[in-house]
Amino acid sequence: MNMQFFQAFLDGTLMGGVYALAALGLSLIFGVMKITNFAHGAMMTVGMYAVYVVSTSLGISPYIALVFAAITLFALGYIIQHFLIDKISDAPTHNQLLLTLGVAYILENGLLAVFSPNYKTLNVDDFDGAIQLGAISISPEKLVAFAVVLIVTAVIYIVLYKTRIGKAIRACSQNKEGAKLMGIVIKKTNAVAFGIGALCTGIAGALLTPILSIYPTLGETFQLKCFVIAILGGMGNLWGALISGLIVGIVESLTGYIAGGSWSDLTVYAAFILILLVKPSGLFGRSNRREH
Amino acid sequence: MLEINNLYVNIGNLSIIQDVSLKVGDGEIVALIGANGMGKTTLVRALSKLNSVKSGKIFFKGEDITDLSADKIVEKGIIQVPEGRKLFPQMSVIENIEMGAYAKRARTKEKENLEYVFTVFPELKSMLKQACGNLSGGQQQMVAIARSIMASPELLILDEPSIGLSPIATQKMFEAIELINKSGIGILITEQNVQQVLKMADTAYAMQQGKIALSGKASDIAADDELKKIYIGM
């Protein structure tokens, strides 16, 4: 294996981690509410602009501004679920889905109105140049992004598996009526779950801000990517989303190395369709077996 | 402790429960019997607010609880083991049981209730780490009842607990229910296994087409072949 191949593999893994975090949020929201959040990409962009604004106006590192983005996005997700989606929780799910699409357009156009469609680039001075390991060079921004993804994922794991509210969220995703009968207030767990899902995509956006030039509709690309990753992982399966995120990142990067960047998306989506043809519930999806 | 007065429950535009009145006295076992599709499940779901009440009143210990939400009903101490059990299949047995103690009323008594669960179902101790989805029907029913005990019930509602269970598992479950009742917990149980439930119950109500067709002492109903034939079809 030559060094460039390894370099591409490494880059793909690091970026895949960021995709994985955003997709984890989408999958969590689906697992609990059974709706696909079409505002996921737009929320990611909000996270990007939150970091950009806080970092440039206060002159602080984007990695500190990230905390602000995380809090903002949690609040945004909580509010959207509590004040909008919950109000139509008896409506058919496709109507709830359209509501998230409406939210996406409002967020995107709000960003367009405030920040203009121009590209914005954050100048990061936290690091001096790439890290060289022999022939391999690692972007410190991507390395830090990956490390933050690991930490955030671990924290979300602890919240979901060890805390009262986290266990209630998991209970709701497995049997809503069973959860109600134990005194769990579905409205609250839904809002917290949506908040955590939004926080994931917001942090992913925040981590991409030092790497990419940002513009208000940037989230659309990631919306589709998150969707593909979450489906590959089996909608609602959090570990599946993490592993699929890495896979998509690696496939994208290796295709770019072997065939050129313009082939990346084509390969990812072709692989997506092929996998679904062979395994319709996704790589790690449970089959549609009914629980009894 | 529970008093239902002239209750009506609709599902969609269909009137399922019509003018049902029913009482559960302190520490009593009340059986709700009748064939499938007569409205037993709709009625008990309405008590736990999984179905909404159209009209009529529900009182618990003298307090009007008709308009309370599902979580408030739980906090009052009315806990239901639903039809089909509705466990959390990907959670382990112990996690399922612990979820029962989610209600505020149960948090301080969690340890005590868990000990009580193990005296009722000592078998559970050996399967605490297993995922609930992999258990047999009888084992799942034990977990479901254990989960409800963790919520510190004053009134326990059991909806068709013997469905899908082997005769041995059914027998064991009825024994467990009697044991739980002896600790002072009121029981409202719906059953198709009429013979067995009438032996255990104090009072019985037979439902037909969403109405109470017959009520009385369980032993009287069990003894009267004519009544059984007419209302229960056995």
pLDDT digits (tens, 9 = 90+) for A98-117: 999 999 999 999 999 999 99
Beta bridge partners of B32: B190, B205
- Give pLDDT, residue A291: 38
- Give pLDDT, residue B26: 95
Count CA atoms within 13 Å of residue A82 on its CB side.
Answer: 13
- Give pLDDT, residue B230: 66
- Give pLDDT, residue A284: 84
**Region class of A184: left (phi > 0), else alpha (psi between -120 and 50), else beta:** beta
Is pLDDT of A289 > 60? no
- Give pLDDT, residue A281: 87
Is pLDDT of A172 > 70? yes
Chain B residues with beta carbon closer than 8 angstroms to that of A174: 88-91
- Give pLDDT, residue B64: 97
Structure tokens, A179: 């959860």
The closest of A208, A59, A249 to A120, measured between CA atoms, is A208
> Is any Cβ of chain A less than 8 angstroms from the Cβ of B71?
yes
Distance from the first to the final alpha carbon of chain B: 31
d(CA B121, CA B114): 10
Residue in A with minimal Cα distance to B157: A181
- Min Cα distance A278 → chain B (Å) is 25
Give residue B40's pLDDT band: very low, low, confident or very high (50, 70, 90). very high
- Min Cα distance A101 → chain B (Å) is 29
- Residue B88 to residue A175, Cβ atoms within 8 A: yes
- Give pLDDT, residue A1: 62
The closest of A149, A141, A121 to A212, measured between CA atoms, is A121
Chain A residues with beta carbon closer than 8 angstroms to that of B74: 181-183
Residue in A164, A178, A292 nearest the CB of B88: A178
Report the pLDDT averaged over residues B141-152: 96
CB A186 within 8 A of CB A172: yes
- Give pLDDT, residue A15: 95
Chain A residues with beta carbon closer than 8 angstroms to that of B42: none
Interface size between A and B, measured as CB pairs under 8 A: 69
Count CA atoms within 13 Å of residue B114 on its CB side.
Answer: 15
Name the more confident of A130 and B231: A130
Torsion sign (Cα): A134, A137, A141, A145: negative
Percent of chain A predicted with pLDDT > 90? 79
- Residue A183 to residue B151, Cβ atoms within 8 A: yes
d(CA A109, CA A101): 12
Chain B residues with beta carbon closer than 8 angstroms to that of A171: 88, 91, 99, 102
Interface TM-score (ipTM) > 0.90: yes
- Give pLDDT, residue A292: 36
Is pLDDT of B233 > 70? no
Chain B residues with beta carbon closer than 8 angstroms to that of A291: 89, 133
- Give pLDDT, residue A47: 97
Q: pLDDT by residue (tens digit) across B210-223?
A: 999 889 999 988 88
- Residue B80 to residue A181, Cβ atoms within 8 A: yes
Average pLDDT, chain A: 92
Chain B residues with beta carbon closer than 8 angstroms to that of A236: none
Contacting A residues, span 172-211, partner chain B, CB-CB under 8 Å = 174-175, 177-185
- Give pLDDT, residue A93: 82
Question: At CA B166, angle to CA B161 and CA B168, rounded to 5?
Answer: 95
d(CA A56, CA B201): 73
